[in-house]
Chain A
Amino acid sequence: MAELRFEAIGTSWQIDTRNPLATQLVDAIRERIELYDATWSRFRADSFVSRVAETAGTWRFPADAAPLFDLYRQLYDTTDGAVTPLVGRRLEELGYDRDYSLRPATHLTSVPAWDDVMHWDDGILTTTQPVVLDVGAAGKGYLVDIVAGLLRDAGIDEYVVDGSGDLVHRGDQPLRVGLEHPFDPKLAIGVYDLANGALCASAPGRRAWGTGLHHILDGLSGEPTTTVAATWASATTGLLADGLATALFFTTGERLASRFDFEYVRMFPDSRVEHSRHFTGELFT
């Protein structure tokens, strides 16, 4: 087995393949990630979304934006507005900003309703006011898909792409994944057998910066969520798995299952867990 480790979008990545990747492919992966970051990172002053945040207007997004916006809209509707890319401004105000000031502002604005401030149609975003987009709910899972797509295009049929815990797997041998305990990273609450699909996790704990302050915001109240401790979702793509892992903080698995095909585990602050019926793994109960 060959491992490629690197840092990207502020976190650790690893790609496991049977044989080492060609230098050309590694370069292509780096460039693709850089392009994605230049589009979506609200932590970069020169990114596309940072321009969108400055002024209202009509914005033509790169081709990869459509699946992300489309999923966001579906999640927005299914969670009655709780999952929304429009939490960006509020996250900044709470201190999760470009400089990681981690200090909440005294005045907080509410998260705008999607249809009040923007319209997405066929690759073009029209905004009626400056909007701070944050695609943290599904963006990393989507980037894992994109990297996996580059491997597939290169003829590689056995791989694991690990975007610091957001995983896409392909191959005959299932991957045994520990589900990290949200309150103690030395522990696992269970294991999941991932085969030819994606597994993504969401948990606020380790990225909290103060009392009740973390990055998973409810778009309706603008407040960080408190009802769920951690979620894991498995689906055919990282985009979907990541988005659903976030959505499970705001709505039930059953409601999401009426629209999406996935498996999941959800853990509550009191250590109770629930899981979908065909979850392939073990929970330590």
Chain B
Amino acid sequence: MTITLRTKTALVTLASIGLLGTLAGCSGTAQADGTSGGSGVATTGNSTGSTTNGTYKDGSYNADGSYVSPGGQETINVALTLKANVVTAITVKTVTADPTATQYEAMFVQGISKVVVGRTLDSLAVTKVSGSSLTSQGFDKALEAIKTAAAK
């Protein structure tokens, strides 16, 4: 997936991973060039979204993007607001809707165009968490070793 992100100060091409994840996760990917939707393209190949030392300018961002959903090619428009590295608002409009998606939405699926905004787990009264955060220790160690080797 490639999304071109335009603001009044930056034009960034974000590859491989979701817009939100990249904004939340990677450092050094945005490159301000002072033009209005002009050049100054920065590309990131990071697909993990798991590093946590990124900082981004507060403001409103707007982007068009396309990707292949299981139902076919779709184009979407994403608008989001960043404050202190947290997405505080986000809207997504589907520019080209996939007819299959619309059909199954009616029968079994709801809310395909709804967009989620994360809330801190600390603020929720949950006793369990289900997701991908807990991975094998061996894997984590190996990944760390590779990052260290790559940084030398």
Contact = CB atoms under 8 A, between A and B. Distances in A.
The answer to whether A and B interact is yes
Interface of A: 7, 10-12, 43, 99-103, 160, 162, 164-167, 175-192, 199-214, 226-230, 232, 250-255, 257, 267-277, 279, 283-285
Contact of A166 (B130, B135, B139): B130
A264 B126 CA distance: 19
A192 B130 CA distance: 9
Nearest to A43: B138
B70 to A, nearest CB: 6
A252 B120 CA distance: 29
B70 A189 contact: no
Contact of B132 (A101, A103, A182): A182
Contacts of A268: 18, 67, 69
20 contacts: A100-B142, A176-B128, A177-B130, A179-B130, A182-B131, A183-B17, A186-B120, A191-B124, A201-B131, A203-B132, A205-B49, A207-B132, A227-B68, A253-B104, A269-B67, A271-B90, A272-B115, A272-B116, A273-B114, A275-B111
Nearest to A179: B130
A214 to B, nearest CB: 7
A274 B110 contact: yes
A180 B3 CA distance: 24
A99 B145 CA distance: 12
Contact of B25 (A183, A188, A204, A230): A183
Contacts of B105: 274
Contacts of A166: 130
Nearest to A241: B130
Interface of B: 1, 3, 16-21, 24-25, 45-50, 65, 67-71, 76, 78, 90, 92, 100-101, 104-105, 107-122, 124-139, 141-143, 146
Given A213-B47, A283-B114, A271 B18 contact: yes
Contact of B47 (A102, A210, A257): A210
B18 A186 contact: no
Contact of B138 (A100, A103, A177, A209): A100
B134 A273 contact: no
A162 B128 contact: yes
A179 B49 CA distance: 17
Nearest to B116: A189
Contact of B18 (A180, A209, A270): A270
Contacts of A179: 129-131
A230 to B, nearest CB: 7
Nearest to A162: B128
Given A205-B21, A254-B107, A283-B116, A10 B132 contact: no
B137 to A, nearest CB: 7
B136 A254 contact: no
